[in-house]
Amino acid sequence: MSLDKYNKKRNFSSTNEPEGKIEKPKSELIFVVQKHAASNLHYDFRLEMSGVLKSWVIPKGPSMNPEDKRLAIMVEDHPYSYKDFEGIIPKGNYGAGKVIVWDQGIYTLTDENLEKEAVVSIFKFNLDKGHLSFILNGKKLKGEFALVKLKIKQKNAWLLIKKEDQFAIEKDILAEDKSVISNVTLEGF
């Protein structure tokens, strides 16, 4: 896990995003989904692991409907402190545009009877294997999901899929468009 790519892409005297440092993980693992109006509107899905946020860009955003398989492009690790970042990345910077924290919460891996120390190694093993299963407990996203790597030429292409459970719904969760931190919409600032 490294934040070199993240730091190289950004000029911290010019953007208000946090500088990348590896942080000490807390006892619970967090996830965050940011809605980001860069050159293309997209959602950034991030799962904490080993003090950084593993990150995927989801062009169409996450869905609570198991029928929707959403393309998720794996991108560079982001710093843990990015979980609370919202605001405007100034013009001329990487990813320039508005960002809100669309959802935030904790997650657990679905492997049963998992010892706490085993979580990191299981996560890394499943990441390398290209199949992560986890349970989200956010304000909007809840229940079991999977991230599955596509076996195609384009490296880093994954699918985010909602699993069938009591939280699965057909209704479009993206209609809930406010920040879970500030209650503003992307259009609102």
Binding residues for Mn ion, per CB under 5 A? Answer: 36, 44
Q: Which is nearer to Mn ion, 36 or 54 (CB)?
A: 36
Taking the complex as a whole, the smallest distance from the CB of residue 35 to Mn ion amounts, in Å, to: 9
**Residue 81 burial by Cβ neighbours in a 10 Å radius (0-12, 13-18, 19+):** middle
Q: Which is nearer to Mn ion, 34 or 126 (CB)?
A: 34
How are beta strands 52-58 and 41-49 bridged, if at all? antiparallel
- CA dist 5 and 72 (Å) reads 19
Q: Which is nearer to Mn ion, 17 or 44 (CB)?
A: 44
Taking the complex as a whole, the smallest distance from the CB of residue 100 to Mn ion amounts, in Å, to: 11
- CA dist 67 and 10 (Å) reads 37
Taking the complex as a whole, the smallest distance from the CB of residue 124 to Mn ion amounts, in Å, to: 24
Residue 47 near residue 31 (C-beta atoms within 8 A): yes
Taking the complex as a whole, the smallest distance from the CB of residue 9 to Mn ion amounts, in Å, to: 11
Q: State the residue number with the nearest CB to Mn ion.
A: 36
Q: Which is nearer to Mn ion, 10 or 144 (CB)?
A: 10
CA atoms within 13 A of residue 72's CA, in its CB half-sphere? 30
